[in-house]
Chain A
Amino acid sequence: MAKLKSIRRQVTGKDLAFNIVLYAICIIILLIVVYPLYFIVIASFSNPTEVANGKVWLWPSQFTVDGYKEILRHAEIWVGYRNTIFYTVVGTVIGLAVNIPAAYALSRHDLVGRKIITFFFIFTMFFNGGLIPTYFTIRDFGLYNSFWVMVLPFSVVVYHIIIARTFFDSSLPQGLLDAAQIDGCSNLRFFFQIALPLSKAVLAVIALYTAVAQWNAYFNALVYIKDDGLKPLQLIIRNILITKQAIAGTGDGLAAQEARRLSELMKYAVIIVTTVPIMCVYPFVQKYFSKGVMIGAIKG
């Protein structure tokens, strides 16, 4: 009895040491990561000359909100916000609808032709026709300059399929499928009623990946969108920001000087303006990562 107790104590003693080291490391990580983030925030409220001269490092220097004013002055921003939110929501739904079923099908070892089909997918990660033929194709499908071009043609992301496939593969016990099949459950039913509810964590991850990618995307819009009314936020922001630099480059007296100042000022504010909304998504996703989501279902 005494022996058992001493083992216990030894274990908890070890665990305590473990915990101290763990929390210490985590706090260090937290500080290392937080500081540059904090820097961006204070830099966005500071005079850009002070920032570039290294004088901003704890507090904003010569506090200003001109950067934000300058960004929000452009009315297109709000159209961009609206579009980006639409693209993100619709794109995420389509992304999940396209990739997750494919991933599930590919996770099934009894799928005839699994290897070939996987190859069909993976091949596209390495080889594609390049921009020009893809542009022709999009145009020929009538998708050029339409809402759908942002959410449909490039919604298949092989990387996401592989990740989800691995997840299905490793966390759905084979016994579950066998049991369901004995009960006469069809593949579709199994997928929708058993596999999906058990895989909320990976759904959350893929949804997050897709949403963030959609949120940050500008290249497709650049190539395939012509109407200002359809442009996403990132594209509009890019133009505002780079224009300032272009004018600044002309050396045209005070205008250039002002443009240069604003472009430097906006650099940091832009990050805040464009990322705050998408940042807020994470806590919602986070709750699907809590433990034991699986277990009740399997046991029940």
Chain B
Amino acid sequence: MNHLWKKAGALLLTAGLLTSILAGCGNNNNGSSEASKETESKANSSASTSSGAEAGNENFNETGFPIVNEKVTLSFVYVKSANMRDLNENAMFQKLEETTNVHIDWQYAGDADWPEQKSLLLASGDLPDVFFGSNTLKDMDIMTNLDYFVPLEDYIDKYCTNLQAAYEAEPIMRKMITSPDGHIYTLSRKLPLRPKGCDVPFINQKWLDNLGLEMPTTVDEWYNVLKAFKEQDANGNGDPNDEVPLTGCGMFDWIRYTNAWGITDSLEENLLALDQKTKKPVFIPADERYKECIEFFHKLYSEGIMDQEFFTQDGSMADAKLKNEEVSRVGTGIAWEVKSHTNPHSDEYVVMPPLAGPNGDRYIRGNDATIIYGRNEFTVTTACEYPEVAMRWADAYADDDISVQSYWGPYGEVLDKADDGTITFLDPPEGKNGDGWYWEVTCRDHGPKYISPETEAKIVLPEGSGDGAKLECDEIIKDFVAEPYPLVNYTEEQMDEISKLTVDIYKYVEESWANWIVNGGIENDWDGYIAQLNQMGLERLMEIYQEALDSYNSAS
């Protein structure tokens, strides 16, 4: 069946192409692709229901289960990592299929080459019914191809009680997906038991003790400590030169250190911060505070405190320094979670409370919108014959039990749910650690999941799990989390303009950044640098960010 419609579509297309070539590339040839689209969806409908053409409303139940009386198949594109098992083998998904009577035809893409495949998929219009998971489509893919996607708000209001409840409890979940044109094209999610802060600063307590130093509280004290690390034999192996007080790689590794200077990045890799006082967007690399911060780091670099290979090594080399077997070599750093990051020397490192900068600012990066919540989890395309079925399926997925099981693993296999609702964890199979196991048996972060606070409170994390360790670190830093530039919604035009402007700007910024830290001279170059950035369109870029922020704030 599938082949037939493909062929029919193909024939029509060829005909269309040939005429267009013959006609000297006529400029409007929409007809043929529309026609093939129609053939496609028609054929799809007869393929996916056993009863034939008119599945329509009799088959669909607006409430209760099953969602459809006769089985319907929906195709989901999902970017799956090679380790993940086929989700159709997952007991929870099997059960979900039984309840809903909706079969999911998972079309997995590998994450290695998804960007290329995605371009092709969108450009060719061979769409699945649903794009599942936030790692499939980015904001830009949706916003620049709006015609491909079905507005979902009516379905949500009509059929999706779980989603409605979630949005009621967490208004941000609706706000972050409401596009400037008022429609909702994709669904959001909320993950359970997540931290508030992103980066945890850490320092080697053993080195501090070895040298008789106090835990630093300001950047100046920090500098003195690092200098001592550099000059003395802090790790006590007899070699005063093998200590690397501070390492990392690349600008986005470094930007986390700007916190103390009062500008905290918004976690979106767009170098954007929200000024904590004026609540205006700040382009970090064009701010005076950034300049001060660079001067400080130039000092670190020129005195050999900052790793001389900070700009040239890759992540694995930076990691390897931290994980050096015989003796610890790194003094300080920033990590998602300290214990596993500093293994095998975890016992030496402790969380360092956020440092105060020159103006007394003590901040930590964090952004609920990306750490706890997320969007683009479930996007229905115009190729989908039954958006209502897809949406009811999504709503079924947003149920507490399903969401928990899709995050860690099915009840009975990974989790155990007691009669009082307490959720505990079963032991992982021989030779596996829990964290890795969850990645294998579930789709982890993905899908429009929502877990209510009541259920969340009943989850008992196992001893030593990654999630638990992160929450422990978070206790120390969570009160310092700065308000980020929120996860706003851009219009298609804004998106387009941003991507055009930033290619040149980012490159110039990164180049100058490395150059100043290594060679210094920011004092002299600064004005010219700002002028150049403005010439590249920085002012316009900031206007766009301000507009987007305004419309985000004014939205209810």
Chain A residues with a Cβ under 8 A of chain B: 47-53, 62, 74, 131-132, 135-136, 139-140, 142, 144, 222-223, 226, 235, 238-244, 246-247, 251-260, 264
Contact = CB atoms under 8 A, between A and B. Distances in A.
B467 A222 contact: no
B116 A251 contact: no
A271 to B, nearest CB: 16
Nearest to A141: B10
Nearest to A251: B336
22 contacts: A49-B325, A62-B325, A131-B116, A131-B119, A136-B17, A222-B113, A241-B112, A243-B82, A243-B83, A243-B111, A244-B83, A246-B111, A251-B337, A253-B339, A254-B433, A254-B434, A254-B466, A255-B433, A255-B438, A256-B340, A257-B340, A264-B316
Interface in B308-367: 316-317, 319-321, 323-325, 335-337, 339-341, 343
A50 B353 CA distance: 31
- Chain B, interface size: which category? 35 or more
B439 A136 contact: no
Contacts of A241: 112
A239 B120 CA distance: 18
A140 to B, nearest CB: 4
B466 A242 contact: no
B13 A132 contact: no
B466 A255 contact: yes
B465 interface: yes
The interface centre, meaning the residue of A244, A251, A258 with most chain B CB atoms within 10 A of its CB, is A251
A48 B120 contact: no
Given A222-B116, A251-B335, 13 more contacts: A49-B325, A53-B320, A74-B82, A136-B17, A136-B124, A139-B13, A223-B116, A238-B110, A243-B83, A243-B112, A252-B466, A255-B436, A256-B340
Nearest to B335: A251
Contacts of A52: 316-317, 319-320
The 3 nearest A-B residue pairs measured at CB: A253-B466, A52-B320, A251-B336
A254 B435 contact: yes
Contacts of A243: 81-83, 110-112
A128 to B, nearest CB: 15
Contacts, number: 117
A240 B340 contact: no
B197 to A, nearest CB: 12
B298 interface: no
A135 B119 CA distance: 12
Q: Which of A62, A74, A135 has the most CB of B within 10 A?
A: A135
A280 to B, nearest CB: 27
Contacts of B13: 136, 139-140
A50 B83 contact: no
Contact of A48 (B124, B320, B341): B320
A244 B340 CA distance: 17
Contacts of B83: 243-244, 247
A140 B13 CA distance: 8
A242 B111 contact: yes
A250 B17 CA distance: 44
A240 B320 contact: no
A239 B110 contact: yes
A132 B120 contact: yes
B470 interface: yes
Nearest to A240: B82
Interface string B82-126: 110000000000000000000000010011110011011001100
A233 to B, nearest CB: 14
B550 to A, nearest CB: 33
Contact of B110 (A131, A139, A242, A253): A242
B69 interface: no
